[in-house]
């Protein structure tokens, strides 16, 4: 910033000085005005500030250039370091992938050996357990119940007293009949002596003999009535139902108990007619129940009905069970297997190892750490094993876990070998 200033002398008075001043101005205007430039104090400050800003800007540009150069150098160094690290990581990943590929090639499996054993063919049926002897107990006579001596679930022996009825009247009748019989027997001795001497007629003798026999029968009848006041078990068994109560009056038609026999537990099954010549008396049977897991009961074919039901086309087979009321109970649902044939010393494979492919059966055997797919021909089978008719040697390790989706000749690793070795050492 700058400005110019005209030099003037102004005389406020009106004397010769002012006249002289105006004369000078006129002379100067005629001769040209003389102008002089002068710098102010604020202008000098602004100029100094501009110089300072200019110098600072130059330094800033130099520093920026240097910074940019450093940044480019750092970026170049970082890029090179990143490239090196990437190369190292790629190399490590490649090494890890190669090792993983080698590890994945060996598929982990579990095996079980083929064993030698017996396996049977059987017919399977579902039914319920029954007893050969199951009876309802009724009183022979009537009377008031004085005591109940057996409860549901009690095991009783033949002849054990179950219920006591009122017996006063029966006892009196028995005593009366006994006394009357003794009187007639004493009098009949005299009658016999008189008859031998022919002192009485035949008709009189026969009448006295009739009276004596009648008294004897009356005596037996009263004894039986007295015995019937004690109701006893007809055979050994278990009370399954009690209906009688103390103080109740019962008669011949009133049921008191249900009694089942312990020894004759049976299961009745209905077999299709095509097996009429296959099932025979004495064949072995096995009985299992879902309510008794892990338990198998032995039995045998006890009876075979000789006729078929024309409606169902089946015949009835009675299987006797060998269980002394330990576990089996009447009404229990069971599965009955009637064994029709048995193969001895057969090669048995785990049933869980069988793989199905297009209707054929296969197993995978481990030979030299390689899974070998073998097509098998099967014979008899049960819930755990299947008979291998094809040539598979005993003790051959058969894959039981991991065989689904396994390829033939695939490399495998048996993971249960260490566990088996530890078990064998223990």
Q: Do the domain assignments include residue 46?
A: no
The answer, yes or no, to whether residue 89 has pLDDT greater than 70, is no
Q: What is the mean pLDDT of the chain?
A: 78
307 and 405 belong to one structural domain: yes
Q: Do the domain assignments include residue 364?
A: yes
Q: Do the domain assignments include residue 45?
A: no
Q: What is residue 329's predicted lDDT score, i.e. its pLDDT?
A: 86
Residues 120, 125: Cα–Cα separation, whole Å: 16
420 and 273 belong to one structural domain: yes
pLDDT band at 326 (very low <50, low <70, confident <90, very high): confident
Share of the chain above pLDDT 90, in %: 38
* Residue 425, φ and ψ in degrees, nearest 5: -70, -35
Domain total of the chain = 3
226 and 315 belong to one structural domain: no
* Residue 11, φ and ψ in degrees, nearest 5: -105, 115
Q: What is residue 189's predicted lDDT score, i.e. its pLDDT?
A: 86
Q: Tens digits of per-residue pLDDT, 144-187?
A: 999 999 999 898 999 999 999 998 888 999 999 999 999 888 88
Residues in Cβ contact with 345 at an 8 Å cutoff, skipping those fewer than 6 apart: 116, 117, 118
Strand partners, 373: 364
268 and 256 belong to one structural domain: no
Q: Do the domain assignments include residue 122?
A: no
Q: Do the domain assignments include residue 180?
A: yes
The answer, yes or no, to whether residue 91 has pLDDT greater than 70, is no
Residue 170: which CATH number?
2.40.50.100
* Residue 36, φ and ψ in degrees, nearest 5: -135, 130
Q: Do the domain assignments include residue 125?
A: no
C-alpha dist (Å) from residue 226 to 212, 214, 222, 230, 246: 21, 18, 6, 8, 19
Q: Mark which of 218, 241, 260 sits at the end of a domain.
A: 260
224 and 269 belong to one structural domain: no
pLDDT band at 41 (very low <50, low <70, confident <90, very high): low
Q: Tens digits of per-residue pLDDT, 346-369?
A: 999 998 899 988 888 999 999 888
Q: Do the domain assignments include residue 129?
A: no
203 and 350 belong to one structural domain: no
Between 409 and 41, residue with greater pLDDT? 409
205 and 294 belong to one structural domain: no
Q: Do the domain assignments include residue 76?
A: no
Q: Is the dihedral of CA 369, 374, 380, 382 positive or negative?
A: positive
The answer, yes or no, to whether residue 77 has pLDDT greater than 70, is no
Q: Tens digits of per-residue pLDDT, 101-134?
A: 444 578 899 999 999 999 988 999 999 999 888 8
Q: Answer yes or no: pTM beyond 0.85.
A: no
218 and 279 belong to one structural domain: no
Residue 308: which CATH number?
2.40.30.170
The answer, yes or no, to whether residue 26 has pLDDT greater than 60, is no
* Residue 262, φ and ψ in degrees, nearest 5: -80, -35
Alpha helices, H only, 197-314: 202-227
Mean pLDDT of 229-249: 91
Residues 196, 348: Cα–Cα separation, whole Å: 93
Report yes or no: 380 and 122 within 8 Å, Cβ to Cβ.
no
Report yes or no: 152 and 239 within 8 Å, Cβ to Cβ.
yes
Q: Mark which of 260, 289, 310 sits at the end of a domain.
A: 260
410 and 305 belong to one structural domain: yes
Q: What is residue 419's predicted lDDT score, i.e. its pLDDT?
A: 54
pLDDT band at 47 (very low <50, low <70, confident <90, very high): low
Q: What is residue 162's predicted lDDT score, i.e. its pLDDT?
A: 93
282 and 171 belong to one structural domain: no
Q: Tens digits of per-residue pLDDT, 273-300?
A: 999 999 999 999 999 999 999 899 999 9
157 and 31 belong to one structural domain: no
Q: What is residue 48's predicted lDDT score, i.e. its pLDDT?
A: 63
148 and 13 belong to one structural domain: no
| Domain housing 33 | 3-38
Report yes or no: 212 and 183 within 8 Å, Cβ to Cβ.
no
Q: What is residue 200's predicted lDDT score, i.e. its pLDDT?
A: 86
The answer, yes or no, to whether residue 250 has pLDDT greater than 50, is yes
């Amino acid at each position: 910033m700058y400005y110019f200033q005209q030099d003037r002398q102004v005389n406020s008075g009106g004397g010769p000085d002012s006249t002289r001043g105006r004369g000078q101005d006129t002379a100067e205007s005629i001769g040209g005005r003389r102008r002089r430039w002068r710098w102010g104090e604020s202008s000098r400050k602004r100029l100094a500030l501009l110089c300072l800003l200019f110098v600072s800007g130059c330094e800033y540009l130099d520093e920026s250039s240097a910074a940019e150069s450093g940044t480019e150098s750092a970026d170049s160094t970082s890029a090179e370091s990143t490239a090196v690290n990437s190369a190292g990581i790629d190399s490590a990943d490649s090494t890890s992938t190669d090792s993983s590929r080698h590890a994945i090639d060996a598929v982990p499996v579990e095996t079980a050996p083929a064993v030698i054993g017996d396996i049977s063919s059987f017919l399977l049926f579902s039914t319920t357990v029954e007893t050969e002897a199951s009876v309802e107990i009724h009183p022979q006579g009537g009377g008031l119940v004085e005591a109940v001596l057996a409860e549901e679930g009690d095991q009783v022996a033949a002849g054990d007293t179950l219920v006591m009825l009122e017996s006063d009247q029966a006892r009196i009748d028995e005593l009366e009949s006994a006394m009357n019989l003794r009187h007639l027997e004493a009098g009949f001795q005299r009658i016999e002596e008189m008859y031998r001497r022919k002192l009485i007629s035949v008709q009189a003798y026969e009448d006295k003999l009739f009276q004596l026999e009648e008294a004897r029968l009356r005596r037996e009848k009263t004894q039986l009535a007295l015995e019937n006041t004690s109701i006893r078990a007809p055979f050994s068994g278990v009370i399954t139902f009690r209906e009688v109560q103390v103080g109740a009056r019962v008669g011949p038609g009133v049921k008191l108990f249900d009694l089942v026999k312990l020894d004759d537990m049976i299961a009745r099954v209905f077999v299709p007619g095509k097996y009429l010549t296959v099932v025979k008396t004495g064949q072995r049977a096995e009985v299992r129940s879902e309510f008794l897991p892990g338990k198998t009961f032995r039995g045998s074919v006890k009876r075979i009905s000789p006729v078929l039901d024309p409606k169902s086309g089946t015949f009835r087979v009675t299987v006797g069970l060998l269980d002394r009321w330990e576990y089996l109970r009447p009404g229990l649902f069971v599965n009955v297997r009637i064994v029709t044939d048995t193969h001895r010393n057969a090669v048995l494979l785990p049933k869980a190892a069988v793989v199905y492919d297009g209707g054929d059966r296969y197993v995978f055997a481990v030979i030299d750490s390689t899974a070998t797919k073998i097509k098998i021909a099967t014979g008899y089978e049960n819930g755990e094993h299947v008979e291998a008719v094809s040539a598979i040697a005993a003790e051959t390790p058969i894959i039981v876990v991991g065989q689904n989706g396994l390829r033939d000749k695939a490399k495998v690793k048996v993971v249960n070998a260490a566990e088996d070795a530890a078990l064998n050492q223990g």
